[in-house]
Amino acid sequence: MVTVLLLALGYALGSIPTGMLIARWRRGMDIRQYGSGNIGMTNVLRAVGQGAAAATLLGDLAKGIVPVLLAGLWLTSPWATGFVGLAAIVGHMYPLFAGFHGGKGVATSLGVFLPLLPGPLRYGVRSPSDPWPPRPPSLLSPCSGAHLRPTSSVRWRPRR
């Protein structure tokens, strides 16, 4: 029963349209009407500015971190904890509170992986900062680091 509640909580937290709320608060605009139409950090950066984009990034990270940490406190199965994180990502991509049209889930995925796999994540996070990616880096950067997460997580063992 706790698992089902945490799955619902993960989806509900992921469904909070952080970028849309911040853009409406800062400029009184619907971010979905500008740029790519997504509610994520990159579109907020283009349409509203750096401060709003940083706040969106922090909010989207928190949407992934909080459910996973709560699941880690109350659940014993790492699979269930991972599914709670997946529910937060799905909530960000298909938010209940924004007509099921959300962002790409990059920042929320990062927020989910931070508490789950902190060791391997450092390899995936460092890779997008390499100088080789061509423009535009908004989609290529997360994808270039994503290939390192699964391979490094197989070899990583947490210290006890």
Complete DSSP assignment for 104-124: -SHHHHHHHHHHH-HHHHHHH
Nearest-CA neighbor of 64 among 103, 14, 19? 14
Global pTM?
Answer: 0.74
Q: Which residues contact 24 (CB under 8 A, 6 or more apart)?
A: 30, 31
Same domain for 122 and 68: no
Instruction: Choose the final residue of a domain: 62, 82, 106.
Output: 106
Same domain for 62 and 8: yes
Domain tally, the chain: 2
Same domain for 132 and 89: no
Report the first-to-last Cα separation within the chain, whole angstroms. 29
What's the confidence (pLDDT) of residue 35?
80
Is the pLDDT reported for residue 155 higher than 80? no
Same domain for 135 and 97: no
Residue 95 preceded by cis peptide, ω within 30:
no
Instruction: Choose the final residue of a domain: 84, 106, 128.
Output: 106
Q: What are phi and psi of 92, to 5 degrees?
A: -70, -40
112: in domain: no
pLDDT category at 102 given cuts 50, 70, 90 is confident
CB 75 within 8 A of CB 6: yes
Burial of 147 (0-12, 13-18, 19+ CB in 10 A): exposed
pLDDT in tens, 124-153: 554 444 554 445 555 555 555 555 555 555
Same domain for 29 and 98: yes
Section 36-58 average pLDDT: 88
Q: In terms of pLDDT, which residue wins out, 9 or 133?
A: 9
* Structural domain containing residue 43: 2-106
Same domain for 90 and 133: no
158: in domain: yes
Instruction: Choose the final residue of a domain: 87, 106, 125.
Output: 106
DSSP E strands in the chain: the ranges are none
CA angle 23, 24, 30 (to 5 degrees): 85
111: in domain: no
Indicate the range of 15-29, 114-128, 131-145 predicted with least confidence: 131-145
